[in-house]
């Protein structure tokens, strides 16, 4: 039975889900979502930038599972920030829902303050349940938290055993904001996946190294949604709730922290790349 976490706004989110990054619009994504739902997935993480929201929404509509049982996370791209209210309306139509469970600001460039006000208003209007941010750090992270009337429920950032976001966790504690992980398996880094400690634990629990790392995320209170397109891997990824790492094993994994992100784009590079990217509806 997979876990759920209570956010700082009182809403309850499935801690484990499916990431839909780089999955194309169309039947392929619909089939992947259908399979995931059949396997017990109840959290789907998409985005306007992924350009597959319509397929995600259709797959949910086609399933026999009530919309109320499925948590949908999506994200506004910076090109949406200036007209965020209208962008939210279009997102609701693409996803074929009356309310988005969690809506994030995808990047820390553009008029994120104006967009955040729109997210807060969407919560008050019942169009969005919870709101948060993605890929914010440094001065822009602090500015957003100081500015916001409704503090972010989650922040989605690169998190894995080589980059455990310890300082960020300390910053978030007073707000009760949860971390969501992307690159949960370290961007497939061979060095990480071949760490002796993971191989030892995998043998002990009769699990794969990936399952050990995903279980570590769960026990650290991190929301995680690995991406997969194969039924075998989808089933394997979610099969992490029948064992538990010991306190000493968690401590050993914490020692692997190198504060080593794989994404290292500067503010200036983010502004140059992200603000010029216009998306189709």
Binding site residues for substrate, as ranges? 106
* Of 50, 81, 112, 183, catalytic: 50
**Gap between the Cα atoms of 207 and 199, Å rounded:** 9
- Give Rg (Cα) of the chain: 18
Closest CA relative to residue 183, chosen from 162, 200, 169: 162
Closest CA relative to residue 32, chosen from 251, 234, 276: 234
How far from 37 is each of 5, 54, 70, 188, 235, CA to CA, in Å?
19, 16, 9, 25, 11
Closest CA relative to residue 65, chosen from 89, 92, 45, 35: 35
**Gap between the Cα atoms of 107 and 271, Å rounded:** 9
Strands 223-224 and 178-182: parallel
Task: Mark whether 50 is an active-site residue.
Answer: yes
Q: Where are the alpha helices (DSSP H) in the chain?
A: 27-39, 53-62, 84-95, 112-124, 138-147, 166-172, 190-193, 196-205, 209-219, 231-238, 247-254, 267-274
Q: Is 221 left (phi over 0), alpha (psi -120 to 50) or beta?
A: left
The three-state secondary structure class of 114 is helix
**Residue-by-residue DSSP string for 214-246:** HHHHHHTT-EE-----SHHHHHHHH--SS----
Mind telling me the catalytic residues? 50
């Amino acid at each position: 039975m997979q876990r759920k976490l209570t956010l700082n706004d009182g809403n309850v989110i499935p801690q484990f889900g499916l990431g839909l990054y780089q999955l194309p619009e169309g039947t392929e994504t619909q089939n992947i979502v259908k399979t995931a739902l059949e396997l017990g997935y109840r959290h789907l993480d998409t985005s306007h930038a992924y350009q597959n929201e319509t397929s995600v929404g259709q797959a949910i509509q086609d399933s026999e599972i009530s919309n109320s049982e499925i948590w949908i996370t999506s994200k506004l791209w910076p090109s949406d920030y200036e007209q965020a209210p209208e962008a939210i309306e279009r997102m609701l139509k693409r996803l074929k829902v009356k309310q988005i469970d969690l809506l994030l600001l995808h990047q820390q460039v553009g008029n994120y303050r104006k967009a955040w006000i729109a997210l807060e208003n969407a919560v008050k209007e019942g169009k969005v349940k919870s709101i948060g941010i993605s890929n914010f750090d440094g001065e822009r992270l602090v500015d957003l938290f100081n500015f916001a009337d409704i503090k972010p429920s989650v922040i989605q950032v690169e998190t894995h055993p080589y980059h455990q976001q310890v300082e960020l966790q300390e910053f978030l504690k007073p707000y009760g904001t949860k971390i969501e992980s992307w690159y949960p398996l370290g961007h497939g880094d061979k060095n990480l996946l071949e760490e002796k400690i993971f191989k030892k634990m995998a043998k002990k629990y009769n699990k794969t190294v990936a399952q050990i790392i995903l279980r570590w995320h769960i026990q650290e209170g991190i929301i995680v949604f690995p991406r997969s397109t194969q039924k075998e891997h989808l089933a394997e990824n979610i099969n992490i709730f029948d064992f538990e790492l010991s306190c000493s094993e968690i401590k050993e994994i914490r020692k692997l922290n190198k504060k080593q992100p794989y994404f290292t784009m500067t503010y200036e590079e983010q502004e140059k790349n992200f603000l010029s990217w216009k998306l189709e509806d």
